[in-house]
Structure 1
């Protein structure tokens, strides 16, 4: 199969890379897509700028694509990312969209084909003798997106549940005591590297997880605009990090979802410390911190097939599923 270097100009658009100067207009396009598709995750203009500039390894001149109409207005885009820290499998993440008024013309199909080609090129350039795949995430309810992926030969490989829990007087955070010398402490910057290493160990047996480099960790986790250290906690055993939770505020999502929430980005317990009540203690601490700052709900996402029992943990703490999303893949 020969994949196109660029989508066809016969589709009525002219194609070029996305630049930082395009961010305001790109954001307008993304908002138009969000208004129709109602995704679980929404983007600010700052988020989009980060997609282009917040990694020394990023190359938007080669890894992004924007289709503009005759007036220079963006109507479609594509973005491909291969993270340099991948060691067990090299993954090309593809994200894109087409303005709702420009759908049904084959634009999405051609953008996806360009993304697959670029993803394969980047995987080959990584030069790693490990499994590799092209990955695309899609909200369950956006049937047109999922049908596009299936028609292009992508297969459904994972379901994710977005879960929510109220934080009102009728649903107080549970009291979870820790024993055996374990201490629950607030997250502080001096713990960052120890927490990163704990995260890489805790998620080593999770599907699709790869080690986080220091740059990526500080860029996208503990150094991001949305990160809230006052909502994040660590359990220590002496000086060892046994478990941790990192939380964020995605304020751009609040209007669409209809409530203010604290979001648990990462929750992990190292294998040697599992089954000692650490995960529920961490979540309960975050719930209390969310509520103290006026949040109405606690939210998180979980791989429905997570073998660690995370789904049972969350439902046992009062979380319920609010929506579902999917991951589609094509092995290289």
Structure 2
């Protein structure tokens, strides 16, 4: 029986989870997702499920999967992210190339409906160990544009992470969704405005994927609050954390993922990120986490790589962002 090509379905979470587990077992990229994680992905408003996804099916098995995720806003271009994978048992049949070619044909027309007149770029991230996938993207007209590091830091049970003091006039406090959510969105958008490939988040996408996602851990998230001259408080830096139970189920390691660290421009170079990281590491250690991890642009203009290295993080692996202008 041949493969059938059709979009992802709203009830595909379990089949998709089985697919991602098989892919991860072969590729070892550190990405583990369970059916609940992927059910959340299937509800993403930045994905057109009917027209912006494609699967190759062999009965109940997803042999290949591709998903196009549009930017929250056009800033000024729509950076459409392609997430594509082929089940190890079905590799070597040209399915990966077909997924990429479909994405090239599909992304621009869908983008034109969301952001009329905006330029369109198709982006894809490839783990450094997956040289075959990298070669495939280059063969299909993509060029390597940027590099990112995944960094990790162990949290030994017998070693308490050092406390990093905040500068005078600033308090590090736990994230309170009711009190800090709106201000944190403002800080995030300002902090990342000069970061390559960053997109301004809307209230909807912020709450869907930052502070409303099932992986979000407000108890491991913090804000830096400064007192203004008029006595009012202002959130000037943020740290948001997530936890993926699917990772622990596979690896046995309880890992805190620091998903977002950002500081308002006027407050940079004052040690706020270090103070926030110190607070998060201390709480993660208290809760029994084994490790902390984060991702960073290798060429971040803020010097973030050095900040993370001083906090004890070391590079685990590198990913390459491939881009094709459409």
TM-score normalized with structure 1 length: 0.91
With 310-319 and 120-129 compared, the bigger mean Cα shift is at 120-129
Matching residue within 114, 126, 140 for 2:128: 140
Structure 1 residue 86, shift from structure 2 partner: 2.8
Matching residue within 98, 102, 122 for 2:110: 122
Q: Deviations over 1:5-46 (max 9, x none)?
A: xxxxxx931111111222222221221111111122222112
> Do the aligned partners of 1:14 and 1:68 also contact (CA within 8 Å) in 2?
yes
Matching residue within 55, 58, 61 for 1:73: 61
Aligned match of 2:41: 51
Q: Does 2:203 align with 1:214?
A: yes
Aligned match of 1:32: 22
Give secondary structure in 1 for the equivalent of 2:207.
helix
Instruction: Tell me how many residue pairs correspond in the alignment.
Output: 320
With 46-55 and 136-145 compared, the bigger mean Cα shift is at 46-55
Q: Does 2:159 align with 1:165?
A: no
Distance 2:48 2:100 in 1: 19
Give secondary structure in 1 for the equivalent of 2:96.
helix
Give secondary structure in 1 for the equivalent of 2:73.
coil
Aligned match of 1:236: 225
Distance 1:296 1:232 in 2: 17
Distance 1:209 1:301 in 2: 14
Matching residue within 203, 217, 231 for 2:192: 203
Matching residue within 208, 212, 216 for 1:223: 212
> Do the aligned partners of 1:52 and 1:59 also contact (CA within 8 Å) in 2?
no
Q: Does 2:260 align with 1:289?
A: no
- The structure-2 alpha-carbon separation of the partners of 1:155 and 1:221, relative to structure 1 and needing over 3 Å to count, comes to same
Q: Does 2:180 align with 1:191?
A: yes
With 167-176 and 202-211 compared, the bigger mean Cα shift is at 167-176
Give secondary structure in 2 for the equivalent of 1:264.
strand
With 321-330 and 255-264 compared, the bigger mean Cα shift is at 255-264
Aligned counterparts, 1:246-285, within 5 A: 246-257=240-251, 259-285=253-279
- The structure-2 alpha-carbon separation of the partners of 1:258 and 1:163, relative to structure 1 and needing over 3 Å to count, comes to farther
Aligned counterparts, 1:311-322, within 5 A: 311-322=305-316
Aligned match of 1:175: 163
Distance 1:156 1:33 in 2: 23
Q: Deviations over 1:204-263 (max 9, x none)?
A: 000000111101111111111111111100011122111010001122123555522111
Aligned match of 1:21: 11
Structure 1 residue 168, shift from structure 2 partner: 2.1
Distance 2:298 2:86 in 1: 29
With 152-161 and 129-138 compared, the bigger mean Cα shift is at 129-138
- The structure-2 alpha-carbon separation of the partners of 1:65 and 1:130, relative to structure 1 and needing over 3 Å to count, comes to closer
Unmatched 5+ stretches in structure 2 = 228-232
Distance 1:266 1:192 in 2: 13
Structure 1 residue 280, shift from structure 2 partner: 0.3
Structure 1 residue 308, shift from structure 2 partner: 0.6
- The structure-2 alpha-carbon separation of the partners of 1:296 and 1:127, relative to structure 1 and needing over 3 Å to count, comes to closer
Give secondary structure in 2 for the equivalent of 1:75.
strand
- The structure-2 alpha-carbon separation of the partners of 1:179 and 1:24, relative to structure 1 and needing over 3 Å to count, comes to closer
